[in-house]
Amino acid sequence: MDFALTDEQQRLVETARKFTKEKIIPVAQRLDEHGTFPKEICEQAWEIGLMNAEIPQEYGGLGLSTLDHVLMAEEINYGCAGIGTTLLGNNLAAMPLILAGTEDQKKKFCGSLTEAPIFAAYACSEPDAGSDVAGMRTAVRKVGQEYVMTGQKRWITNARFASWYTVFGRIGDVRDRHKGITCFVVPRDLPGVSVGKKEDKLGQRASDTSDVLFEEVKLGKEHLVGEEGQGFKIAMKTFDRSRPWIAAGACGIMRRALDECRRYALERKAFGQAIAQFQAIQFMLAEMAMKYEATRLLMWKASWSIGQGKLDAIESSYAKAFGADSAMAVATDAVQIFGGYGYTKEYPVEKLMRDAKLLQIYEGTSQIQRMVIARNLLAQGQ
């Protein structure tokens, strides 16, 4: 088993690290404070190949493996998790098309993301259906050869800036749960599509999170992704692919927290010596490092399995749940090490703590991940 990065992977990491140092870190605090969407940074990232990582090369993308992608994403999230989430948005929106779309859909919609620095969004969650995907109420009825969609999506990343959406709606009765859920690709400019309120979030404030509304939106067969009733399966497969990306966000936050705390602990004096000399601080730093290393290994394993075509949902859930919970714990300890200064905006650790919390919520909460893990473990025992 070889953990060494290839020369190409090392160059990718160095490119992302340099971009983060020069373009992201200098503006991250300002973007967070004002909740400003990082459009210019995204355009610069697109120019040097730091967007659309997993879109296949035949549609203009980088065609990177998931392992390559998470290596890059960790570096971006080291600088700002809000920007990291924004840059991941296109990959998330494109994944249902990559998994189940027609050749024409892939060329048209995935190709549009690589031809210009535009955005797309994945629209699954609703006001009353977040973790309970099968409880969604966005309705799709068939009228002749057309589909007509009406509903509301919530917590949609990049919603206000997206040119198209991957949307999940229900054909049939809500009591049918997952059976009628169907996936569509919906251009932003279709009549009846609009963007609702923007959320004023605790953390990851540089990312756009808004509602998307669909009012009698007419769709054709060309908008159907996969087959009718396959949407739930497509959504779950997409989450299996995307959860290692969230672990990458966790790794970026943890590594940044560890670097900030190590530097501060060596400089900060108390009782006549650097606080790094106190065992209480040393143990906290050691715990941070262990959580980071363990998350990175889980993330690499899940990403490697995707590349080998062997992914089990449990592996992605291991990485996502452990990584998100670890990032929250590490960022909270970082604030503690900084003491009163950690509770102010003078240092970046308070932002790391706010950003980390979202990792435990989106792409399936930490509790949902435990349900997935337990269900898979019990199934293996039968």
pLDDT tens, residue by residue, 315-329: 999 999 999 999 999
Band (pLDDT 50/70/90 cuts) for residue 135 is: confident
User: With bands split at pLDDT 50, 70 and 90, how would you rate the model's confidence at 173?
Assistant: confident
Measured CA distances, 188 to 20, 49, 299 (Å): 30, 25, 34
Q: Kindly tell me if the per-residue pLDDT of 54 is higher than 70.
A: yes
Q: So what's the pLDDT on residue 382?
A: 65
pLDDT at 1 over 90: no
% residues pLDDT > 90 (the chain): 93
User: Which residue do the tokens 């027609």 mark?
Assistant: 102
pLDDT in tens, 249-304: 999 999 999 999 999 999 999 999 999 999 999 999 999 999 999 999 999 999 99
- CB atoms under 10 Å from CB of 347, counted, come to 18
Task: Indicate which residue of 75, 126, 260, 363 is catalytic.
Answer: 363
Average pLDDT, the chain: 96
Q: Where in 3-76 does DSSP place strands (E)?
A: none
221-258 pLDDT, tens digit per residue, is: 999 999 999 999 999 999 999 999 999 999 999 999 99
pLDDT for res 133:
86
SS3 percent helix, strand, coil of the chain, rounded to 5, is: 60, 15, 25
pTM: 0.96
Cα(273)–Cα(270) distance, integer angstroms: 6
Q: Is 363 a catalytic residue?
A: yes
Domains of the chain, each with CATH number or no CATH: 7-119 (1.10.540.10), 121-228 (2.40.110.10), 232-380 (1.20.140.10)
Nearest to 243 by CA among 66, 50, 378, 121: 66
* 14 pLDDT higher than 80: yes
pLDDT in tens, 111-123: 999 999 999 999 9
